[in-house]
Structure 1
Amino acid sequence: MLDALAHTLRRAGHRPAVLGTTRTGTIRTRATCGDLADLADAYTAALHARGIGSGGTVGVAVRPGPRALAVMLAVHRLGARAAVLDPGAGPDVLRARLALARPDLVLADATAQAVAGWARPLARRARLALPDLAELGPVATIGTRLPGSAPALDLTARPGRPPRPRDEDGDAVIVFTSGTTSRPRAVVHTRSSLAAGMSTVTKLVRPEPGRPVLGGTFFVLVPSLASGTPVALPARSSRVLARQLRRLDAQATYLTPPQLRAALAEGARFTGRVWTGSAPASTGLLTRVKESGADEAWGVYALTELFPAAAVEQAEKAAFGGDGDLVGAPLPGVEAKSGGDGELQLSGPAARHRYLGEDPDPWIATGDRARLDDGRIVLEGRCKDMVLRGAENIYPGLYEPGLHVPGVELALLVGVPAADGDERLVAVVQPAPGADRARLRAALAAPLSRMGTARPDALLLADIPLSGRSRKPDRAAASRLAARQLAARTRSAA
């Protein structure tokens, strides 16, 4: 599909490709198809001149947008692989990840370098506590260079013709996921698994030429642009995002649940089909999206290791009356099974090839407990999130969906260590803006009573901490928050 995208961009040079938004919500063209094609050609030549070729690795720390997409196209054309670096991970984590991926060159925009604070010393090859620093590779700045940034990537060099696009399979992208600073973990996708994932997205979303799509991820940009559809990058401000949605008239929108909640709080109206993932999407959230104008509202179950794996529309999710969180039937080509311990395992053409430094494995251990209900995946909670109270194993994911009554924004069940060495089970519920707390407590009484032996020891109404790039609920932080509030209650009662 990346090859198809390159042809599409060249054929439709004048057509808008990537759209941006001003603070007032005015839609503007950030790059035409021709701009992207020219930029990809320039990056391809510049990287080729730096010796990047088949089997090479390029670290990429560039904000989503035209430059990031053009870099990915250039790396793909040269038969190299891109290691995606998150500037917000912190210098220690970044250095550990660089040491694992060992890129031949790191490309970073000035903003990423300012956030990370690592590129300048790395470029100068000084002050880093890494014995093999010289093997980590140099850094080059993409886009506007600010004082203190690494040297700019030279786009003036025009060496001999770069190699023809590569047809055979091979590593395409490295995406870092779970792991520690001392032992980072990275997912390796091949050209074929990446293509399979983008093909699945295309069949699922069905982008039509002309009418724009709203979304900023690679899996939105590539299939949409390859189909002749312009893509609008979501505004960072929720207020501007709401204005953007009103003016854009998007045929499809992909936003994370936190982005959706923030936009809804600003009175956003939706059009076409809306998709959300990267964090749990409750029935209530999908319902609010449809009530705000969307024709359809879909929750997407996806992992870094396999994107996308399953999807469910609001109507089907709302009709589900069983325990757990229905995330839908596996998408075409995806195989699902439950291991002996109840852990969901997935496989398929879009599955990652391996973890960097490890042997290939066709099955992905998701870390989610799940069951198959008439061929549909129903999540029952994260394996590691199990709470042991007394002699009972309690899996929060079985019960959390039932806590999303009207007026609830988010809900978690977390364990809090007790003085006797046991755990207390606490329901931490985040009220929706403007919700009446007394009425909310009354509405929660019924679902809490139905939890039987898993009924929580306490109910707290509080904002749930979020973490990570996708702003997922942070269970560890929520547990600490619950512990503090319970301790404060005990002190005040004494």
Structure 2
Amino acid sequence: MLDRLDHALRARPERPAVLTATRGGAPRVRATRGELAELSDAFAAALHARGLRAGDTVGVAVRPGPRALAVLLALWRLGLRGAVLDPGAGPEVLRARLALARPSLVLADAAAQAVAGWARPLARRARLALPDLAELGPVATVGPRLPGCAPGLDLGATRAGVPVHGGSDGDRDDDAVIVFTSGTTSRPRAVVHTRAGLAAGMETVSALFAAARPDEPVLGGTFFVLVPALTRGAPVALPARSPRVLARQLRRLRPQDTYLTPPQLRDALGAGARFGGRVWTGSAPASAELLGRVRDAGADEAWGVYALTELFPAAAVESREKAAFEGPGDLVGAPLPGVRAEVSAGPDAQLLLSGPAARHRYLGEEPDPWVRTGDRARLDGAGRIVLEGRSKDMVLRRAENIYPGLYEPALHVPGVELGVLVGVPAGDGDERLVAVVQPRRGTAEATLRAALSEPLRGMGTARPDALVFAEIPLSGRSRKPDRPATAALAAALLKGGRT
């Protein structure tokens, strides 16, 4: 896919590739296809001139957009392994992750360096501004430099003799990318995808997003949206950060496909956004109610995509199929082509996934063909995946194990923006089960309390001990519900007499 993208960009260099939005939502060309190919060539030449060779690791802390995509293409061309770094993770976490990945070079834009607090020390030494990290390699600035940033990457390096590593079959088992996921500061965990696995994942996405109108725009900001869309000739618009501007952007652009996270969808709907074509969402749970609202707002189809850092994507379900599901749990759809799904034996009933797009291994560990998702699940009679909650989110109440994910879909009645079940300590190792519900703007709590009475009764022995209304804290890049913070909030509200 990345090889085909490189050829596709050069075939129509004058066409727009990446769009951004003005405050009024009008599309603005951020980069043409030719400019993207040219930037990729310049990055490849600069990295090769610095002595980087196939198999070396390059840390990448560059915001999504043309530069980040050009860096990815350059790494792919040279056979380099990219380690995706989150500059906002904090010094201790960043230190542990860099110690594990040991990049030969870190590429960072000025914003990433500012967020990470690297700028001042980098003015003294072009190295990571974290204690005792000088041995982990230098830093080079990608894009405009600000005062205190590391020296810029030399984009004037000669391009003669730069190898093309991307097209050979013999390198398909080589590492392509490292993405950090769970783990602690002392023991970070990093997912390693090979070149073959990364290519398989992008092929799956391309088949899922297949469109009949290659020149019409797509709205989305992730690599798994950018690469397939640009390969088939569609320009990609990066979503505006402001919900109001995003709503205007959708109106002006009228994309054939839109990919937004559930929080972005909720914010856009709150700003009065109208949709069209197909809308896709993932990275965090998407309820049938949310997908239904997207279709009510004009989308022809609204899809929930079940994906993990270890396997993207794994399954998908359209809003009408999800809404028609009446059993307990969260239907996320049938496994996509090539994906195998099994449920482990025993009480944890954990979902196991495998397939060509699955991660090869965790960095520092042996390869394993099966991804242990941490999700409790079952496969229904049609072979579809039904999630029953995260194993680690289990609540222990009166010696009964309660998995919130099995019951949370019932909380998403009309007027509910977001709803979760959390455990609050009740003494002697027991917990109270609390439903925390975030009302949609303009919906009265009394109305929601009445609408929720029947769903709560229908939970049987898992009926919550209390119902509280509050804005649910979110965390991480995908802005998933922060369960520990929500549990602490629920405990404080109950202590204050809010039930």
TM tier relative to shorter chain: over 0.9
* Aligned positions of 1:54-453 closer than 5 A: 54-118=54-118, 120-121=120-121, 123-125=125-127, 128-130=130-132, 133-158=133-158, 160-166=160-166, 167=168, 168-169=171-172, 170-207=174-211, 208-340=213-345, 341-373=348-380, 374-453=382-461
Contact conserved, 2:286 with 2:304, CA < 8 A, in 1? yes
Contact conserved, 1:343 with 1:366, CA < 8 A, in 2? yes
Match of 1:485 in 2: 493
- C-alpha change, 1:55 and 1:126, in structure 2 (3 Å) is closer
**1:390 offset after TM fit, Å?**
1.0
The percent identity for this pair of structures is 74
> What amino acid is the match of 1:365?
R
Structure 1 stretches of 4+ with a deviation exceeding 4 A read: 122-127
> What amino acid is the match of 2:93?
V
Contact conserved, 2:395 with 2:401, CA < 8 A, in 1? yes
Contact conserved, 2:76 with 2:176, CA < 8 A, in 1? yes
> What amino acid is the match of 1:214?
L
**1:128 offset after TM fit, Å?**
3.6
> Which secondary structure state, in structure 2, belongs to the residue aligned with residue 418 of structure 1?
strand
**1:126 offset after TM fit, Å?**
8.1
* Aligned positions of 1:18-33 closer than 5 A: 18-33=18-33
**1:160 offset after TM fit, Å?**
3.3
Q: Deviation digits for residues 208-237 of structure 1, max 9, x if unmatched?
A: 311000000000000000111100000011
User: For residues 492 and 118 of structure 2, what CA distance do their matches in structure 1 show?
Assistant: 35
User: For residues 207 and 185 of structure 2, what CA distance do their matches in structure 1 show?
Assistant: 38
> What amino acid is the match of 1:414?
V
**1:262 offset after TM fit, Å?**
0.3
**1:134 offset after TM fit, Å?**
3.4
Q: State the Cα RMSD in Å.
A: 1.3
- C-alpha change, 1:68 and 1:103, in structure 2 (3 Å) is same
> Which secondary structure state, in structure 2, belongs to the residue aligned with residue 489 of structure 1?
coil
User: For residues 91 and 405 of structure 2, what CA distance do their matches in structure 1 show?
Assistant: 34
> Which secondary structure state, in structure 1, belongs to the residue aligned with residue 216 of structure 2?
coil
Contact conserved, 1:197 with 1:350, CA < 8 A, in 2? yes
Contact conserved, 1:303 with 1:309, CA < 8 A, in 2? yes
Q: Deviation digits for residues 104-126 of structure 1, max 9, x if unmatched?
A: 10000000101111365364458
Which shifted more, 155-164 or 180-189? 155-164
- C-alpha change, 1:125 and 1:192, in structure 2 (3 Å) is closer
User: For residues 325 and 312 of structure 2, what CA distance do their matches in structure 1 show?
Assistant: 24
TM-score by length of 1: 0.97
Matched residue pairs, number? 489
User: For residues 159 and 225 of structure 1, what CA distance do their matches in structure 2 show?
Assistant: 24
- For structure 1, list consecutive stretches of 5 or more residues without a partner in the other structure: none
User: For residues 471 and 129 of structure 2, what CA distance do their matches in structure 1 show?
Assistant: 40
Contact conserved, 1:44 with 1:75, CA < 8 A, in 2? yes
**1:159 offset after TM fit, Å?**
5.3
User: For residues 497 and 439 of structure 2, what CA distance do their matches in structure 1 show?
Assistant: 20
Q: Deviation digits for residues 412-459 of structure 1, max 9, x if unmatched?
A: 110000133310000001111111210110110001111111111100
- C-alpha change, 1:405 and 1:127, in structure 2 (3 Å) is closer
Contact conserved, 2:126 with 2:151, CA < 8 A, in 1? no
User: For residues 358 and 431 of structure 2, what CA distance do their matches in structure 1 show?
Assistant: 37
> Which secondary structure state, in structure 2, belongs to the residue aligned with residue 59 of structure 1?
strand
Matched, 1:52 2:52: yes
User: For residues 242 and 116 of structure 1, what CA distance do their matches in structure 2 show?
Assistant: 31
Contact conserved, 2:45 with 2:162, CA < 8 A, in 1? yes
**1:372 offset after TM fit, Å?**
0.1
**1:82 offset after TM fit, Å?**
0.5
**1:469 offset after TM fit, Å?**
0.3
